[in-house]
Amino acid sequence: MLREWLEELRPAVVLLSLLTLLTGLAYPLAMTGVAQVAFPAQASGSLIEKDGRVVGSRLIGQSFAEPGRFWGRLSATGPVAYAGEASSGSNLGPLAPALLDGARTRAAALREADPGNRSPIPVDLVTSSASGLDPEISPAAAEWQAPRVARARGVDEERILALVETHTRGRTLGILGEPRVNVLELNLALESLSPLPMGGRSLRNGG
């Protein structure tokens, strides 16, 4: 009886072992190798380097708070913002009081940072994305911040707007998604155009 049971069990064990090796080891290693050869930058995390040092990824946002830099979307991955291992949205419904309170708080901070700007605030500056990691904002959100950034940098606003336009990406394949601006890439270009005055931290130095 036991021998018959073992004979029936053996094919299942062998098949499980083979599938584990195939799908759990061989296939992932093969796909990793192909990705490293065909798409090395993407496979390594779409990292961005500045002066030989990694300063971030094109796929994950960062917190920027200084007036002389563009600010990205809110992150819902608290308590640490833009934490990749905690990627998620706030899961707050459109009628949730907490969602409205958070938007009001963010809007107040934006108005305080640029009290002379009375233009409507783009919605993506007061809400978080579904992932909580969004590295991009809309062109309108970047343009809304241009006056504040220009004053803090001591440069003409038109130069800032031109920089935003240069770093605006269109829809993928012309139809997918919306035009967007990568905040980290824009801030790095801004640093090259006009470094922050004394007291402002440089992105090259981890600021």
| pLDDT one-digit tens code per residue, 73-87 | 988 887 788 887 778
- For residue 180, list its beta bridge partners: 169
Instruction: Report the C-alpha gap between 67 and 152 in whole angstroms.
Output: 6
**What is the distance between the alpha carbons of residues 73 and 88, in angstroms, rounded to a whole number?**
14
Q: Do 91 and 172 lie in a common domain?
A: yes
Regarding whether 103 and 2 lie in a shared domain, the answer is: no
36 and 49 belong to one structural domain: no
User: In angstroms, rounded to a whole number, what is the distance separating the alpha carbons of residues 91 and 76?
Assistant: 9
75 and 136 part of one domain:
yes
Q: What is the mean pLDDT of the chain?
A: 85
Contact 128, 169 (CB under 8 A): no
For residue 40, count other CB atoms closer than 10 A to its CB.
9
Predicted TM-score of the model (pTM): 0.77
Which pLDDT value is given to residue 207? 43
What pLDDT is stored for residue 177 in this prediction?
Answer: 87
* Angle subtended by helix axes 183-193 and 139-153, to nearest 10: 30
Same domain, 84 and 170: yes
Do 50 and 148 fall within a single domain? Answer: yes
53 & 152 share domain? yes
Indicate if 116 and 25 belong to the same structural domain: no
Per the structure, the complete domain to which residue 153 belongs is given by 45-205
Q: Quote the CA–CA distance of 111 and 118 in Å, as a whole number.
A: 8
Domain count, the chain: 2
103 and 170 belong to one structural domain: yes
pLDDT higher than 90, residue 131: no
CA distance 131 to 84: 9
Band the pLDDT of 125: cuts 50, 70, 90. very high
| Residues 18, 83 within the same domain | no
Strands 47-50 and 53-57: antiparallel
Is the domain of 126 the same as that of 171?
yes
Q: Which residues contact 99 (CB under 8 A, 6 or more apart)?
A: 90, 92, 93, 127
Clarify whether residues 162 and 126 are in a common domain. yes
